[in-house]
Structure 1
Amino acid sequence: MHVYTKTGDAGETGLYTGERVKKSSLRVDVYGTIDEADAAFGMARAFATKAEVKTAILGIQKKLPSLMADIASLDKGPIIHEEDVIALESAMDDIEERLPKLTSFLIPGDTPAGACLDHARTVVRRAERRFCELAEHEDVHGTDRRFLNRLSDYAFLLMRLEETNV
Structure 2
Amino acid sequence: MMKIYTKTGDKGQTSLYDGTRVSKFDVRVESYGTIDELNSNIGVSRQFCDNPEIKAHLLKIQRMLFNIAGELATIEGATFPEKVTEEDITWLEFIIDHYLDQMNRDEVFQFIIPGSNAFSAHMHVTRTVCRRAERRVLELSAHADIRPVLIKYINRLSDAIYTMARFSETDLIRVEFMK
Q: Say yes or no: TM over 0.5.
A: yes
Unaligned runs of 5+ in 2: 172-179
CA RMSD, 1 decimal: 1.5
Q: Does 1:88 align with 2:95?
A: no
SS at match of 2:22: strand
Amino acid paired to 2:96: M
Q: 1 or 2, which has the higher helix percentage? A: 1
How far did 1:161 drift? 2.2
Once residues 109 and 44 of structure 2 are traced to their aligned partners in structure 1, the CA distance between those partners, rounded to angstroms, is 28
Once residues 113 and 40 of structure 1 are traced to their aligned partners in structure 2, the CA distance between those partners, rounded to angstroms, is 11
Amino acid paired to 1:28: V
Once residues 7 and 58 of structure 2 are traced to their aligned partners in structure 1, the CA distance between those partners, rounded to angstroms, is 33
Cα 1:37/1:103, change in 2 over 3 Å: closer
Amino acid paired to 1:133: E
Unaligned runs of 5+ in 1: none
Amino acid paired to 1:70: E
Once residues 5 and 103 of structure 1 are traced to their aligned partners in structure 2, the CA distance between those partners, rounded to angstroms, is 49
Once residues 76 and 135 of structure 1 are traced to their aligned partners in structure 2, the CA distance between those partners, rounded to angstroms, is 16
Of 75, 78, 85, which residue of structure 2 is paired with 1:76?
A: 78
Once residues 119 and 21 of structure 2 are traced to their aligned partners in structure 1, the CA distance between those partners, rounded to angstroms, is 37
Q: Specify the alignment match of 1:32 in structure 2.
A: 33
Amino acid paired to 2:122: C
Q: Specify the alignment match of 1:105 in structure 2.
A: 111
Q: Report if aligned partners of 1:41, 1:57 keep a CA contact under 8 Å in 2.
A: yes
Q: Specify the alignment match of 2:157 in structure 1.
A: 151
1:1-150 alignment, distance < 5 Å? 1-74=2-75, 75-77=77-79, 79-101=83-105, 102=108, 104-150=110-156
Once residues 76 and 161 of structure 1 are traced to their aligned partners in structure 2, the CA distance between those partners, rounded to angstroms, is 40
Amino acid paired to 1:145: I
SS at match of 1:137: coil
SS at match of 1:10: coil
Amino acid paired to 1:16: Y
Q: Report if aligned partners of 1:70, 1:141 keep a CA contact under 8 Å in 2.
A: no
Cα 1:95/1:76, change in 2 over 3 Å: farther
Pair member with larger Rg: 2
133-142 or 146-155: which moved more? 133-142
Q: Report if aligned partners of 2:28, 2:73 keep a CA contact under 8 Å in 1.
A: yes
Instruction: Give TM-score, length-normalised by structure 2.
Output: 0.87
- Number of residues of Structure 1 aligned to a counterpart in Structure 2: 165
Q: Report if aligned partners of 1:117, 1:155 keep a CA contact under 8 Å in 2.
A: yes
How far did 1:163 drift? 2.1
39-48 or 82-91: which moved more? 82-91
Percent identity between matched residues is: 39
